[in-house]
Each structure stands twice: as structure tokens, then as C-alpha cells.
A and B are shown apart, each in its own frame.
Chain A
Amino acid sequence: MKSIIRFIPLILFVLLGVLLYRGLFLNPQAMPSAMIGKPLPDFSLPMLKATEKQVGRDDLKGNIVLLNVWATWCIQCKYEHPYLLNISRNPRVKLYGLNFTDELSSAMRWLKQYDDPYVFSIFDEQGALGLDIGVFGAPETFVIDHTGIIRKRFAGPINDMVWKKEFLPLIETIEAEMVQGAS
């Protein structure tokens, strides 16, 4: 009994050490989104390239929808843009844009200058939809499955490594679920 008591400080020290050591390698920026598992909220916002046209949740067609939050004030969006063009040629997903608290003219110029990877972009000047899905910056990419549930939020630019590590496994999971649901 007494010998166990003697070791208590050492045990506490080791436990604390393990806890703090783990903390060294955690990424404080990687925050889980509160929206995961919740349905995409409905909205009614103008389409960027045709602002007289209102679009809503049901206009995001496709089995697996990627919703990419972008803006011209966002430097990292420029970095990920070439890869988005890549994704737009991928038949497994449909890529939509959410132009977030931006100016219409500069957003139009951006799409003209760098090419448009999106099926269409939603023009969210006031950040209303952005707020409803808990966007806190750009770029962010949401994965929405065939039932309209938000499955993932990735904050930061997408590149090949990120795509293979963060997105492909989830896309495969959703595709498997789709096959199961159909049979």
C-alpha cells in the first residue's frame, strides 16, 4: 500500500506529460464544424453570373456536391484555384461556388481571368448563407451527400495531397452508401 502511494506523483507526472506531449502536435486551427451531420439550410440568393436569377438548395444538383467558399479578397483562394479547375473535370463530384462577402464586379473579373471551375456560384454579398453554415473564412469547402446532409467542412486551400487524404476517402464512403441505398 505504502509503496503505491510513493509512486503516485510519478504516475501523475507521466499522465500529465503524455497529455501535454499530445498537445504539442494538435492543430488548433483544425476545428470540427458544428454543421456536420446537419442538413444544408435552405437559402434564396442570386446567381453570380446572372444576378436576376435566384437559386436555392434544390438547385445544387448532383449526388456528391462540393460547395467551395471563395472570395477575391482571399489570397489562398487564388492558390487553390488551379486545383479547383482540376476537380471540375472530375465526374464523381459537382463543384459549386459560394462567393462570400465579395464585390460583384471583382468576382466576375476573377472568373473571367482565371476560368470558372464551378457549375455556378452563389452570390452571397451579405454573408447570409455563409453565416448559416458556419463559415469563418475562405477558402472553405463543404461536402454535401446525396441526401442533402453536410458531411465535411474543410478549412484551407485544397491541393492534391489534401484531396487524396481528406476528400477521396469520404467520397468513396458516400458512393458506397449510395450503392447500399439503391439496392
Chain B
Amino acid sequence: MQLNMQIGMDKNTLVLPSFLRLVMSVLLLSVLWIGSVSAGPVETFKFKDEATKLRFQILSKELRCPKCQNQNLADSNAKIAVDLRKNLYNLLQEGKTDQEIIDFMVYRYGDFVLYRPQLKKQTYILWFGPIVVILGFALSVIFVLRKRSKGKANELALSSKEQANLDDILNKK
């Protein structure tokens, strides 16, 4: 720390030997690197190809950790999430399709493991509820506006008595 400050203050007077500068920058970089690694779950999986790796990443984000209310498998460090990631890896290496893996998880852990609910009778309200609500609002807005403009048109129109009066005035002239 003291050394750093000195460098900052007396740039002209203090010249660090270049090898020392190199050592320092390497040290600094390594510190940064350690920080970034310890942030996420540490596991190393070796995939047979890039496509499988990508599928692993997508599936571990789509699947929810059963124990931890709102984290996906990729995010969580819970024991169960670690186990399930390992399992997901094994299933992928065995060549299972995405749907087979999802069915495997749902059979054991229920719909809770899916962040994207499946389309079935119990989930119709989830999938179509918002559309129905929006349509309902849109229809009622149209309905009200129509009624209002009609009402205004009626107000502007003359009643038969007024029309007769108007005709009288016009005819007199």
C-alpha cells in the first residue's frame, strides 16, 4: 500500500525496476483471478462437445433447485443442487434428450423443478390468464369509449322540438 502511494505521488523521482513492476502486476492479476473463481460453484465437467456443454448450461438455468425456493441449479451451492448438476451431466453424457431429462426430473421432484411451467390443464390459467385479462380490459375500454362518444353525439343532436324552433326561425327570415 505504502509503495503504491509513493509511486503515485513521485512518479518522476521513483523509478521501479521493470522486473519488480512485472512481478507486481502478475500478483495483482492473480488476486483478481482468485476473486472471480470463488464467486461461483466450483466444478469441472468435461463435455464431449460444445453443443452438450451449451445444453448443460441452458438446462441448469431452466431447472430449479428443489430445496432452495428461488435459485436454479446453476446458481445454487446447496448439496442437492450440486448432486443434481452432477446427475444432469451424467444424463447428458448418456445422450438423453432435453425432454427426457426434464421428464426425469419432473417424475421425481414434481413441476416445482421447472421454471417454465408445462402447458397442461392445471397451468392453463398461468399461460392464458394474462391474455384473457388484457383482452378483457381492452374490450371494456373500447366499450366505454364507444358508449361515451355515442352519448356525446346524442347530446349534440337537436330534439324534435328544438328542430321545429330552428326551422321556424330560419323560415321567418
Cβ-defined contact, B67 with A137, below 8 A: yes
> Interface code A118-135, partner B: CB below 8 Å = 1, 0 otherwise?
000000000100111111
Q: Determine whether A33 belongs to the interface, using a CB cutoff of 8 Å to chain B.
A: yes
Cβ-defined contact, A134 with B79, below 8 A: no
Which one, A28, A35, A137, contacts B108 given CB within 8 A? A35
User: Which residue from chain A places its CB closest to the CB of B112 in the assembled complex?
Assistant: A31
Tell me what chain B mostly uses at the interface: helix, strand, loop, or mixed: helix
Cβ-defined contact, B110 with A32, below 8 A: yes
A31 vs B110: C-alpha distance in the bound complex, in angstroms? 9
User: Which residue from chain A places its CB closest to the CB of B111 in the assembled complex?
Assistant: A34
> Interface code B57-91, partner A: CB below 8 Å = 1, 0 otherwise?
00000000011010000000001100110010000
B53 to chain A, nearest CB (A): 22
Using known A-B contacts A136-B67, A137-B67, determine if residue A34 contacts B79 with beta carbons closer than 8 Å. no
Using known A-B contacts A34-B107, A137-B80, determine if residue A131 contacts B87 with beta carbons closer than 8 Å. yes
A132 vs B80: C-alpha distance in the bound complex, in angstroms? 13
Q: Which of A77-96 contact B (CB under 8 A)?
A: none
Q: Determine whether A101 belongs to the interface, using a CB cutoff of 8 Å to chain B.
A: yes
Cβ-defined contact, A134 with B66, below 8 A: yes
When distances are taken between beta carbons in the complex, the residues of chain A under 8 Å from B124 are none
When distances are taken between beta carbons in the complex, the residues of chain B under 8 Å from A135 are 80
Cβ-defined contact, A34 with B87, below 8 A: no
Interface size band for A: 10 to 19
Q: Determine whether B7 belongs to the interface, using a CB cutoff of 8 Å to chain A.
A: no
When distances are taken between beta carbons in the complex, the residues of chain B under 8 Å from A127 are 83
When distances are taken between beta carbons in the complex, the residues of chain A under 8 Å from B80 are 135-137
- Total interface residues on B, using CB and 8 Å? 15
Cβ-defined contact, B108 with A133, below 8 A: yes
Cβ-defined contact, B69 with A134, below 8 A: no
Q: Determine whether B106 belongs to the interface, using a CB cutoff of 8 Å to chain A.
A: yes
B34 to chain A, nearest CB (A): 27
Q: Determine whether B45 belongs to the interface, using a CB cutoff of 8 Å to chain A.
A: no
When distances are taken between beta carbons in the complex, the residues of chain A under 8 Å from B67 are 136-137
Q: Determine whether B109 belongs to the interface, using a CB cutoff of 8 Å to chain A.
A: yes
Using known A-B contacts A28-B69, A101-B83, A131-B83, determine if residue A136 contacts B109 with beta carbons closer than 8 Å. yes
Q: Which residues of A are in contact with B by a Cβ distance under 8 Å? A: 28-29, 31-35, 73, 101, 127, 130-137
Pairs of residues from A and B, 8 with the lowest C-beta to C-beta distance, nearest first: A34-B110, A134-B108, A136-B66, A136-B67, A136-B80, A134-B109, A127-B83, A137-B67
Query: Can you list 21 A-B contacts (CB < 8 A)?
Result: A31-B110, A32-B110, A33-B110, A34-B107, A34-B108, A34-B109, A34-B111, A35-B108, A101-B79, A101-B83, A127-B83, A130-B83, A131-B83, A131-B87, A131-B108, A133-B108, A136-B66, A136-B67, A136-B80, A136-B109, A137-B80
* Apart from the given pairs A34-B110, A127-B83, 15 other A-B contacts in the complex at a CB distance below 8 Å: A29-B69, A34-B107, A34-B111, A34-B112, A73-B79, A101-B79, A131-B83, A131-B108, A133-B108, A134-B66, A134-B109, A134-B110, A136-B67, A136-B80, A137-B80
